[in-house]
Amino acid sequence: MKHKLIGGAIALAILGAGSLAFAQVRREPANDGETKKNVEIKKEDGAGRTPELRERAKEAKENTREKIDATREALREKTAETREKIKEVKDAAKEKIENTRTEITEIRKEMKGGIEARKEEARAERTVKREEAKGMIKEKREEAAALRETKKMELKDRLKIIKDEKKQQIVERVAEKFGEINIRMTGHFEKALEKIEALTRRIENRANILEAEGGDVAAVRSAIAEVFGATAAARASIAAQAGKVYSVSDVIQDEATIGQSISGLRETLRNDLNAVREAVRVAKEKVRLAGEALKNIVVPIKNENTGEKSGE
């Protein structure tokens, strides 16, 4: 009996343990259901809050867009303001450049006007000196002509030492020749100077044109100045020579030495004329050098694309 009771207890214990285990197993799906239910509740809660979040996101987007639009507008305004300032600076710079160019142009005109005025003044001064020298030559010739007439009368008295009348006439004709030769040669030299000066003026005019085109004419202007200096010196020599009188009456002593005296006078005339000829030759050489200087002027070539000038 006792054993039966023990067996029954054991069976009951086993049965209780099985029931407990079965009960635990049965409760597991219930736990899964609760989990699902909790998830569904959470989903429902989340789904319930979505419109609010969307509204907030929408407001945030709109606020961000407004800020971006405001920033863009501010940038556009700033850019426009900056562009306006840049334009003002450019316009001011352009105006300043134009004013500077105008000032430079005016200065160049004034300088050019001053240079032209000085050129005209130099030409006028040369003209005055040339005319004064010509007047001096004419005056010297007239004085010499008057003196020759006086010396001619004196010669008639001095030729009384020659008994042969034909010899007297020969000496008188020779005496006349001295004056004629001097007049002819000084006139020839004066015409040569006028040709030299005319050529020099043509060179000067050409130099002015080349200078306006950008050529360096310093060398040719220096050469031209030397030409006019040489012609002035030569003209002074001509004036001095034109005033000289070669008087036979002043050199003859007697009939025996009259030929020798006349030969000496002729040599004096030749030497004097050679001195004047040399002065004219110097002027001629100076104008040749001026012509060479003119040929050596380099005029810049204008670039049609850039408008700039460059040397040849």
Closest CA to 178 of 96, 272, 88, 98: 272
Task: Round the average pLDDT of the chain to a whole number and report it.
Answer: 79
Q: Are 231 and 197 in contact (CB under 8 A)?
A: yes
Residue 197 has pLDDT above 90, yes or no: yes
Q: Rounded to an integer, what distance in angstroms lies between the CA atom of residue 5 and that of residue 112?
A: 149
Mean predicted confidence (pLDDT) in 2-7: 46
Q: What is the pLDDT of residues 212-230, one digit of tens each?
A: 888 999 999 999 999 999 9
Largest CA distance in the chain: 225
pLDDT category of residue 161 using cuts at 50, 70 and 90: confident
pLDDT category of residue 133 using cuts at 50, 70 and 90: confident
Q: Rounded to an integer, what distance in angstroms lies between the CA atom of residue 160 and that of residue 137?
A: 34
Closest CA to 182 of 110, 240, 254: 240
Residue 44 has pLDDT above 60, yes or no: no
Is 0.85 topped by the overall pTM? Answer: no
Q: Rounded to an integer, what distance in angstroms lies between the CA atom of residue 312 and that of residue 299?
A: 7
- What is the residue-wise DSSP string for 227-276? HHHHHHHHHHHHHHHHT----GGGT---TTTHHHHHHHHHHHHHHHHHHH
Residue 85 has pLDDT above 90, yes or no: no
pLDDT category of residue 70 using cuts at 50, 70 and 90: confident
Q: Are 219 and 296 in contact (CB under 8 A)?
A: yes
pLDDT score for 56: 83
pLDDT above 90 coverage of the chain, percent: 42
Residue 101 has pLDDT above 50, yes or no: yes
pLDDT score for 151: 92
Element (H, E) at 285: helix 258-295
Residue 187 has pLDDT above 60, yes or no: yes
Residue 139 has pLDDT above 80, yes or no: yes
Mean predicted confidence (pLDDT) in 66-83: 70
pLDDT-wise least confident of 240-249, 265-274, 279-288, 295-304: 295-304
